[in-house]
Structure 1
Amino acid sequence: MSKGDFYSVRMRASEDGAHELGGKHISGGELISTYDNLKNAVNVLLEKALTHSRGTPDFLQIQFELIDKPITKLRPLPIGTNEVESVKEGHSIAQSLLEIAGVPRKCIEKAFEQITENSGLRGAILFDIRSSVRIDNRNEKGVRVSRMDWLTTNFDKWSDHHKITPSLRVKEALVLATKVSQHPATVAELCWSDDPEYITGYVAGKKIGYQRITRLKEYGDERGCRIFFVDGLSDLHAYIEYLEKQPIFVEWEEENVTRIN
């Protein structure tokens, strides 16, 4: 991929005004596109914003800009699914997975205590596993991971191999989790959507892969959660710069396939 060949296309939508003026977040999304495909990319994000179950936006912003950094290719995290019958069971599984990933039990308990007060954020919060405190200083904005994508044709091959129905939601979540977990300071991620009709969430990390949990909130609940548990973070600015600015493509290659150069 040559420098200047790709564009980052990003969308945000809210109700009752723009986000920074107190508007309710409705939807967000992004793609990496060639110049020739920009119109299609914009239409995909527009459709997502106008058909979201959280409501009808009265503020919508779509922007694109030239990517001026080399794009890093990452392999998708291994995927697993944990079937649960209740939110309580889902949270218990999530906490166990976080502990396996390397997050101390005390830190996990502290983070879960603060989930409700941080549920209205537009982005993620960064939680230090040593001090058990939030360290991003972004208030309601949080940290929004950006400049990432997965070519649909490659994602469809991955889905077919894993016998998973292709889903834009799974694609976007796995791309984000893969990028976040790639950074050396990331220990784990905990996430569930603010979409009231979607109750599945996940825990992800280098040690555990991408672990879907089928029930992490009640149906109809608009409160979401996204926490990045970090350790050894000597440069907060550089970490956020990676999340927001480093462009990545997820690319899957079937195991045991001989490549011919």
Structure 2
Amino acid sequence: MLYSVRMRAAEGGSHEQGGKHISGAEKLIQRDSLTETATNMLVRALEHSRGSADFINLTVEAVSLHSVQRTKCLPIRSVYTENPDEGRKRACETLIASGVSPEAAKAGIGCLTDLPVSLRGAMLVDAQTGKRLDPLLLRGVRVSRMDVENEAAYKKWLQQQGYCNIHIREAVVLASKVMAASGMVAELCWSDDPEYTAGYVATSGQYTRFTQLKPAGSEIGGRVFFVKAGTDINSLITFLENTPVLIEVPVKEGH
């Protein structure tokens, strides 16, 4: 038995009542880690750079091991960009190389650039037409119920590559689940944390991190999932939001 622990925090009331999104977190853990994990999530919600949360939703649910799927962790590549314009240009090129049409790639970047406030989840966008496919507006599709299979090995693997911040640690896990979904072509994301300018494009075989995809100080961020034409959208959303997935950490031979 595992436990899904999920935290959402907002300022000015709940998300559903128009509160400003502050923070969120996801873990799939053993029972003996519940207290420590819940405490860490509460501290994160109360001490986040986006503000002081006055609404915190902490959910704990038991998950049967038989329901858990597994997928490989995406390898990471970093691209250093001098400014957000260059980062978005390079991200657009990466999306197109993955099979997203030029029109859809530009539309996806435009969707995030034009957001009035941060998107709490992700937009589903047709990878050829650029048309939005989900009806969830600013809520978006919230990817949930995922974690790494071996956290210590995962942190070591990241540190060996020089990646130590929590943003990339969590984003690679989420992107690995997203790219395991049937019909998924690519993902584009940049953070809503004002101090974090990096973002990424995930494809079926790569997590490509760009050092600048948004201006410093901006609190607007979100995700776009580019989806193949003909994909069953309801089944895709069910997988992303409800199916528990553990990410297998790469292990070098001899280790």
Specify the TM-score bucket, using the shorter chain as the normaliser: over 0.9
Q: Distance in 1 between matches of 2:236 and 2:36?
A: 31
| Paired residues of 2:12 and 2:55 also in contact (CA < 8 A) | yes
Secondary structure in 1 matching 2:24: strand
Determine the C-alpha separation between the residues in 2 that align with 1:129 and 1:167: 30
SS at 2:158 equivalent = helix
Tell me if the contact between 1:30 and 1:45 (Cα under 8 Å) persists in the aligned partners: no
Q: Aligned residue pairs: how many?
A: 252
1:43-62 equivalences under 5 Å are 43-62=39-58
Cα offset for 1:154? 1.6
For 1:114 and 1:163, locate their aligned partners in 2 and report how far apart those are by CA, in whole Å: 32
Matched residue, 1:158: 157
Tell me if the contact between 2:199 and 2:209 (Cα under 8 Å) persists in the aligned partners.
yes
Q: 2:140 aligns with which of 142, 151, 157?
A: 142
Matched, 1:89 2:82: no
Distance 2:7 2:177 in 1: 19
Higher mean alpha-carbon deviation, 165-174 vs 132-141, is at: 165-174
**Paired residues of 2:13 and 2:55 also in contact (CA < 8 A):** yes
In structure 1, the residue matched to 2:105 is 108
Give the secondary-structure state (helix, strand or coil) at the position aligned to 1:154.
helix
Give runs of aligned pairs for residues 181-220 of structure 1, distance below 5 A.
181-207=179-205, 209-220=206-217
Letter in 2 for 1:200: A
Larger displacement relative to structure 2 (109-118 or 143-152): 109-118
Matching residue's letter, 1:202 = Y
Cα offsets for 1:232-259 (capped at 9, x unmatched): 343111100000111111122423348x
Shift of 1:138: 0.5
Scaled by the length of structure 1, the TM-score of the pair is 0.92
Distance in 2 between the 1:83 and 1:253 partners? 24
| Superposition deviation, residue 139 in structure 1 | 1.3
AA aligned opposite 1:99: I
Name the amino acid aligned to 1:238.
S
Which stretches of structure 1, 4 residues or longer, exceed 4 Å deviation after superposition? none
- Unpaired runs of at least 5, structure 2: none
Tell me how far apart the structure 2 counterparts of residues 122 and 132 of structure 1 sit (CA, whole Å): 20
Answer yes or no: is the 8 Å Cα contact 1:74–1:248 preserved in 2: yes
Equivalent in the alignment of 1:122: 120
The alignment partner of 2:249 has SS state of coil
CA distance in 1, matches of 2:250, 2:94: 26
The corresponding residue for 2:225 is 228
Deviations 1:41-81 (A, max 9, x none): 10121121111111001111101001135222222111100
Q: Which moved more, 1:143-152 or 1:64-73?
A: 64-73
Structure 1 counterpart of 2:244: 247
C-alpha contact 1:118 1:225 (8 A) present in aligned 2: no
Unpaired runs of 5+ residues, structure 1, are: none
Determine if the alignment matches structure 1 residue 37 to structure 2 residue 36. no
CA distance in 1, matches of 2:174, 2:238: 15
Aligned with 1:18 (options 11, 14, 28): 14
**3-state SS of the aligned residue for 1:204?**
strand
Equivalent residues of 1:127, 1:134 under 8 A apart: yes
User: In 2, distance between residues paired with 1:253 and 1:70?
Assistant: 22
What is the Cα-based RMSD across aligned positions, in Å?
1.6
Which residue identity is paired with 2:92?
Answer: Q
Instruction: Give the SS at the match of 1:85.
Output: coil
Structure 1: how far apart are the matches of 2:161 and 2:105?
32
User: Could you report, residue by residue, the CA deviation over 1:126-146 in whole angstroms, capped at 9, with x for unpaired residues?
Assistant: 001233210110012100000
How far the C-alpha of 1:201 sits from its partner, in A, is: 0.4
Residue 67 of structure 2: aligned partner: 70
